[in-house]
Structure 1
Amino acid sequence: MQYPNSTYFIEDERLEWQHVSAGLSRKIMAHDPSLMLVQVKFEKGAVGALHQHVHVQISHVFSGVFEVEIEGIKQILKTGDSFFVPSNLWHGVKCLEEGILIDTFSPMREDFV
């Protein structure tokens, strides 16, 4: 299957960080209507505020340490750990040690592009 206007191979160094908010930047790595992959870089102390969305989300802690909250339950996650957020659950993170989350969303987050 061919995907018009897309690339099969994504080279990280060719993508630019987009400023999101204080201490937060992201790179949209790849997406189609059903799936999206995003890197999110956090400075120490940065917060991904509690929010909810219809998208199913799986996030991987690529580096750093994060306090992750899902539906009022908090857990500290470090490099190599992951978390799963079903549709419409309240969730957010606080960065305890500078790091990067790799987020996947299904379907894609149209509000990011």
Structure 2
Amino acid sequence: MTNTTVFFENDKMEWEVVDDKIQRQIVGFDDKIMMVNVHFDKDGIGVMHNHPHTQVTYIAEGKFEVTIGDETKIIKKGDSFFVPSNVMHGVVCVEEGMLIDVFSPMREDFLK
């Protein structure tokens, strides 16, 4: 195991403001994996992008329009989605909510 924190207590973890409708909170990571809470206000947009990391996302709250590659679908609390490495993807928040993103390997760019 790498030298990293093993307990991430929600009330002690800071939220980073991504924009006026999106905040993110890193809740666990080492060099191989990272989990991030992402809170969206209604109409928040996770713009289309890609990255070399594999991603799986769980919808903890709310409803989102999710686009992965050429496919778009509305998904809600309890659903999840998988994004392969380097595939374009993005979300639009239909109802205020929270995504739990897991990346492999970890997102070094989130720590800067």
* TM, length-normalised to structure 1: 0.95
Letter in 1 for 2:19: S
The correspondence for 2:24, drawn from 3, 23, 26, is 26
Unaligned regions of 5+ residues in structure 1, if any?
none
| Count of matched residue positions in the alignment of Structure 1 and Structure 2 | 111
The residue type equivalent to 1:103 in the other structure is D
Which shifted more, 83-92 or 8-17?
A: 8-17
Deviates most, 8-17 or 25-34: 8-17
Deviation at 1:22, TM superposition (A): 2.4
Match of 1:70 in 2: 68
Partner residue of 2:9?
Answer: 11
Tell me how far 1:7 sits from its aligned partner: 2.3
Moved over 2 A (4+): none
Report the TM-score when normalising by structure 2: 0.95
Give the superposition deviation at 1:10.
Answer: 1.7
What amino acid maps onto 1:54 in structure 2? P
Provide the rounded CA distance (Å) in 1 between the counterparts of 2:68 and 2:61: 20
CA RMSD after TM alignment: 0.9
Q: Which residue number corresponds to residue 38 of structure 1?
A: 36
**Structure 2: runs of 5 or more not aligned:** none
Q: C-alpha displacement at 1:81, in angstroms? A: 0.3
